């Protein structure tokens, strides 16, 4: 396995010189191929390639090749690897395009030569067949690099438990966790369900290299079934899906409304469950909310354990941002981390996109990452909307201006009526405007998190019962 060299980031780089930087990185890309190809092959296929342009708005790199024959070879055999190496070295995603820069005649004379064209070795997981047992599997997703927080810890714990003791697990001292079969994980897109699935597979393989695992997506299950029906190879399909130790299917909601697919999966599920084989499914919603899913499947999906993943709270978002930044070798100051965490609220994919965007802006402008650069990045990602920056300090300041009660009084032990009521308001505002978890808010007020939950619920009740009070709080929110 080759080791791709890391790009050393420049602390200062004039933006007009980025083409020279890209040319330097192209030379590094060529060097990295020396672990896979001979020097002769590298010179033959890459020696005449030049950097034509780099679109900084679309992050698209165009390479030029003067030979028509070499153009076809590089495009078909090496382009994917070239693009991957550029992404690794730059620390953010780029699209690499090829353009022909010569004449057709100049390139045609090479076609008569007899040349051995070596393939760039493909990773094992990239080699697919119609009935591959680990379709689109990512070996880099593990429990160790999954960031756990209050919004995903239950699903994480469930997956760890099942990975260590699946349904067919038996030992002298411990039995399987049959009550976790099936394990059904649900939550919006981009929250880490697939990461947990792949981490589960990795752990199972570590514990038992011989365990037979099938991993696929609901769409692939459907397409494979259709292909096998057309080719009259359903026996092969049944052999694959009904004779494994563990079946994991991502996005199972895809089979809803597809009568034949649901019929097939119903029998597959029964065969595995009756055989005490582990089943793990993910969906973007709980079973009962999947419209057009047959009742018999809904009930079976609920036989075991349901585990939901919610959008990450502020603490978890900041932890994820910090981790993702470390992975692409960029440093983000603490104030910028907090700012990004407060604004990137949708899902983890949005966070990953923002980090890559921020790294690209820093690299292309030659500027250190600061609040100004982060605001520019966030503004583009949010479609030009003005980013918010609500902090606990801002909330305490606004409450003081409105009610005249200091932060020290609110976080202290005084219990007179005015302070107690204002404390409830402050707790409510922090929870609503910053998405901090209840345990985190409890630390600020030096109280038990159950007390914070009770305070928040009390405020919700008051706001429902008192329209004038609701208007007062909404006005305070606007000021903050």
| Residue predicted with more confidence, 435 or 192 | 192
pLDDT at 17 over 70: no
Residue 407 shares a structural domain with residue 456: yes
Residue 371 shares a structural domain with residue 400: no
- Reduced to 3 states (helix: H, G, I; strand: E, B; else coil), residue 235 is helix
Per cent of the chain over pLDDT 90 is 28
pLDDT recorded at residue 386 = 53
pLDDT recorded at residue 283 = 93
pLDDT recorded at residue 136 = 63
Give tens-digit pLDDT for 249-296: 999 999 999 999 999 999 999 999 999 999 999 999 999 989 899 999
Interatomic CA distance for residues 191 and 348, integer angstroms: 6
The verdict on residue 87 lying in a domain is yes
Residues 411 and 445: beta-carbon distance below 8 Å? yes
Measured in whole angstroms, the distance separating CA 35 from the mean position of its chain's CA atoms is: 30
Residue 302 shares a structural domain with residue 365: no
The verdict on residue 322 lying in a domain is yes
Structural domains of the chain, count:
4
Residue 297 shares a structural domain with residue 408: no
Residue 177: pLDDT band (50, 70, 90) is low
Interatomic CA distance for residues 348 and 192, integer angstroms: 7
Residue 158 shares a structural domain with residue 302: yes
pTM value is 0.55
pLDDT at 89 over 70: yes
The verdict on residue 137 lying in a domain is no
Tokens of 151: 């919004």
The verdict on residue 2 lying in a domain is no
| Residue predicted with more confidence, 465 or 198 | 198
Residue 180 shares a structural domain with residue 205: yes
Residues 407 and 118: beta-carbon distance below 8 Å? no
Residues 195 and 163: beta-carbon distance below 8 Å? no
Give tens-digit pLDDT for 196-249: 999 999 899 888 888 899 999 998 899 889 988 988 889 999 999 999 999 999
pLDDT recorded at residue 8 = 40
Residue 348 shares a structural domain with residue 408: no
| CATH code at position 199 | 3.40.50.300
| CATH code at position 116 | 3.30.300.180
Residue 346 shares a structural domain with residue 447: no
User: Between vectors from CA 405 to CA 399 and to CA 410, what angle results, nearest 5°?
Assistant: 90
Calculate Rg over the CA atoms of the chain.
Answer: 28
pLDDT recorded at residue 335 = 86
Residue 439: pLDDT band (50, 70, 90) is confident
Residue 470: pLDDT band (50, 70, 90) is confident
pLDDT recorded at residue 72 = 77
Q: Which of residues 70, 102, 121 is at a domain's end?
A: 121
The verdict on residue 130 lying in a domain is no
Out of 389-393, 409-413, 414-418, the most confident range is 409-413
Tokens of 82: 């070239």
The verdict on residue 134 lying in a domain is no
Residues 380 and 387: beta-carbon distance below 8 Å? no
Residue 75: pLDDT band (50, 70, 90) is confident
Residue 475's domain comprises 392-479
pLDDT recorded at residue 172 = 47
| CATH code at position 332 | 1.10.8.60
Residues 432 and 446: beta-carbon distance below 8 Å? no
The verdict on residue 145 lying in a domain is no
Helix/strand/coil percentages in the chain, nearest 5: 55, 10, 35
| CATH code at position 415 | 1.10.1750.10
Q: Which of residues 76, 102, 121 is at a domain's end?
A: 121
pLDDT recorded at residue 252 = 94
pLDDT recorded at residue 183 = 95
Residue 84 shares a structural domain with residue 30: yes
Q: Per-residue pLDDT averaged across 15-30, rounded?
A: 77
Q: Which of 86-90, 96-100, 169-173, 302-306 has the lowest mean pLDDT?
A: 169-173
Q: Which of 7-16, 363-372, 410-419 has the lowest mean pLDDT?
A: 7-16
Q: Which of residues 81, 97, 121 is at a domain's end?
A: 121
Residues 30 and 46: beta-carbon distance below 8 Å? yes
Q: Which residues pair with 64 in a beta bridge?
A: 50, 99
Q: Indicate if the alpha-carbon torsion angle 109, 114, 116, 120 is positive or negative.
A: positive
Residue 279 shares a structural domain with residue 332: no
Per cent of the chain over pLDDT 70 is 84
Q: Per-residue pLDDT averaged across 8-13, rounded?
A: 37
Give tens-digit pLDDT for 353-375: 888 888 887 877 778 888 888 88
pLDDT at 387 over 80: no
Reported as type and span, the H/E element at residue 143 is none
Question: Which of 70, 133, 74, 75 has the alpha carbon at shortest distance from 107?
Answer: 70
What contacts 30, CB < 8 A, 6 or more positions away? 42, 46
Reported as type and span, the H/E element at residue 4 is none
Residues 392 and 434: beta-carbon distance below 8 Å? yes
Residue 202 shares a structural domain with residue 303: yes
Beta strands in 187-264, from DSSP E residues, in sequence order: 213-217, 246-250
Give tens-digit pLDDT for 302-353: 999 999 998 888 888 888 888 888 877 788 888 888 888 888 877 787 888 8
The verdict on residue 195 lying in a domain is yes
Q: What distances in angstroms separate CA 112 from CA 5, 108, 116, one per listed residue?
A: 36, 8, 13
Residue 175 shares a structural domain with residue 204: yes
Question: Which of 407, 446, 449, 440 has the alpha carbon at shortest distance from 426?
Answer: 407
């Amino acid at each position: 396995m080759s080791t791709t060299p890391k790009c050393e980031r420049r602390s200062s780089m004039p933006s007009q010189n980025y083409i020279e930087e890209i040319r330097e990185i192209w030379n590094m890309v060529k060097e990295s191929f020396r672990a896979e190809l001979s020097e002769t092959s590298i010179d033959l296929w890459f020696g005449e390639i030049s950097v034509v342009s780099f679109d900084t708005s679309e992050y698209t790199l165009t390479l030029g090749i003067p030979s028509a024959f070499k153009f076809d070879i590089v495009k078909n055999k090496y382009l994917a690897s070239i693009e991957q190496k550029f992404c690794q070295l730059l620390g953010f995603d780029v699209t690499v395009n090829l353009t022909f820069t010569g004449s057709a005649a100049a390139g045609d004379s090479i076609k008569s030569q007899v040349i051995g064209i070596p393939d760039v070795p493909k990773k094992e997981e990239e080699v697919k067949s119609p009935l591959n047992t680990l379709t689109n599997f990512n070996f880099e997703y593990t429990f160790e690099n999954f960031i756990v927080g209050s919004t995903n810890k239950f699903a994480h714990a469930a997956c760890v438990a099942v990975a260590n003791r699946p349904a067919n697990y038996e030992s002298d001292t411990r039995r399987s966790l049959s009550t976790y079969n099936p394990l059904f994980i649900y939550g919006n897109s981009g929250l880490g369900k697939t990461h947990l699935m792949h981490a589960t597979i990795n752990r199972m393989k570590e514990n038992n290299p011989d365990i037979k695992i099938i991993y696929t997506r609901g769409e692939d299950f459907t397409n494979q079934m259709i292909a096998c029906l057309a080719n009259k190879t359903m026996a092969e399909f049944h052999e694959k899906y009904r004779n494994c130790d563990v079946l994991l299917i991502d996005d199972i909601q895809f089979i809803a409304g597809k009568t034949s697919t649901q019929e097939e999966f119903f029998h597959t599920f029964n065969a595995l469950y009756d055989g005490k084989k582990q089943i793990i499914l993910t969906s973007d919603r709980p079973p009962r909310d999947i419209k057009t899913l047959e009742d018999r499947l809904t009930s079976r999906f609920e036989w075991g354990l349901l585990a939901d993943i919610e959008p990450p709270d502020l603490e978890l978002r900041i932890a994820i941002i910090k981790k993702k930044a470390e992975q692409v070798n960029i440093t983000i100051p603490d104030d910028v981390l907090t700012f990004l965490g407060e604004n990137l609220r949708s899902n983890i994919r949005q966070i990953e996109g923002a980090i890559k965007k921020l790294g690209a802006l820093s690299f292309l402008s030659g500027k250190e990452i600061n609040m100004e650069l982060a605001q520019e990045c966030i503004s583009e990602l949010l479609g030009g909307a003005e980013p918010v920056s609500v902090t606990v300090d801002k909330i305490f300041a606004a409450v003081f201006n409105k009610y005249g009660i200091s932060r020290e009084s609110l976080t202290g032990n005084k219990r007179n009526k005015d302070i107690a009521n204002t404390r409830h308001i402050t707790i409510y505002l922090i929870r609503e405007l910053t998405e901090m978890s209840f345990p985190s808010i409890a630390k600020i007020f030096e109280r038990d998190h159950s007390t914070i939950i009770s305070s928040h619920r009390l405020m919700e009740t008051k706001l429902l019962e008192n329209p004038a009070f609701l208007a007062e709080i909404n006005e305070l929110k606007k000021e903050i």
